[in-house]
Amino acid sequence: MNAAGIVSAPSDPRLLGRDVRRIAFDAETLRARVSELGQEIAAAYPDGELVVLGLLKGSFVFLADLVREIRRPLHVDFLVAASYGDAMISSGHVRMVYDPETSLAGKHILLVEDIVDSGRTLNTLMGTLKQRGALSVDICTLLHKRIAKDLEHPVRFVGFDAPNEFLVGYGLDHAENFRHLPYVASLKQVHTD
Ligand code: PRP
């Protein structure tokens, strides 16, 4: 890391030569908080059937670690939505690409997100999920930027409040890169983005 706090790309070949501003959440910090979240979630659902719905693609790493920390019976399914394309700012359009096949009626549904940014994704998907006769529908996100102005549904479980920077790693991408970083890094924006 140099004096400006920039992590030099050669230190991690997964960064494709890009520089990151800083490591926002390192692997050990993530592991510890995900473990706590798992305990909070298990305690919040003392009974009933629980379906953990991972919102792909971004949640796949978080979801895999989280469900292994929830020590109660559960089922796992997925939703696929896309909104950003390859740009570093939101296109504002949320498109459902895959709908879960599991019946949600009479069950506790926990929608798992990697990050809440503008809140558009959650506003769109929660409206749909709440029409399916579930016993409860709640949201768990690893990261919450706290900048969404019109979040229609409260986020029940939050891993960390996140800086309003372009974050990658632990499932989060830029143009499909960097999802496999074991930490969350703040990507240094360049003019060609
Ligand atoms: C990202 C991220 C969240 C959403 C958050 O998904 O994974 O789902 O954007 O942004 P919002 O609060 O402004 O809606 P993206 O559409 O990039 O797809 P991905 O999960 O495949 O990366």
Cite the beta strand spans of the chain per DSSP E. 20-25, 50-56, 75-82, 95-98, 108-116, 136-144, 157-161, 167-168, 184-187
**pLDDT for the residue 163:** 96
For residue range 28-65, list pLDDT tens digits in order.
999 999 999 999 999 999 999 999 999 999 999 999 99
CB distance 90 to ligand 1 below 6 Å: yes
Question: How many CA atoms within 13 Å lie on the side-chain side of 75?
Answer: 14
Helices of type H across the chain: 27-44, 60-67, 120-129
Q: Please, which pLDDT band fits residue 189 given cuts at 50, 70 and 90?
A: confident
Phi/psi of residue 76, nearest 5 degrees: -120, 135
Per-residue pLDDT at 192 exceeds 50: no
Could you tell me how far CA 179 lies from the centroid of its own chain?
Answer: 11
Asked whether 80 lines ligand 1 (CB < 6 A), one says no
For the stretch 84-119, pLDDT in tens is 555 555 556 676 777 777 789 999 999 999 999 999
Most confident of 6-15, 68-77, 183-192: 68-77
Q: Is the CB of 113 under 6 A from ligand 1?
A: yes
**Which atom of ligand 1 is nearest the CA belonging to 123?**
14
- Tens digit of each residue's pLDDT (9 = 90 or more) over 131-179: 889 999 999 999 999 999 989 999 999 999 999 999 999 999 999 999 9
| Conformation bin of residue 98: beta by default, left when phi > 0, alpha when psi is -120 to 50 | beta
Residue 25 predicted with pLDDT over 90: yes
Helices (H), 45-181: 60-67, 120-129
Distance 106 CA to ligand 1 centre (A): 28
Whether 119 is in the pocket of ligand 1, judged by its Cβ within 6 Å, is yes
pLDDT at 19: 85
**173 catalytic residue (yes or no):** no
Query: 152 C-alpha vs ligand 1 centroid, how far in Å?
Result: 17
Instruction: Kindly state the percentage of the chain with pLDDT values over 90.
Output: 69
Choose one of 115, 146, 155 to mutate for the ligand 1 pocket test, by most ligand atoms within 8 angstroms of C-beta: 115
Give the pLDDT score at 122.
Answer: 92
Side-chain-side CA neighbours of 20 within 13 Å: the count stands at 25
pTM: 0.89
Q: Give the per-residue pLDDT at 94.
A: 73
Task: Determine the Cα–Cα distance for residues 66 and 76; give it in Å rounded to an integer.
Answer: 11
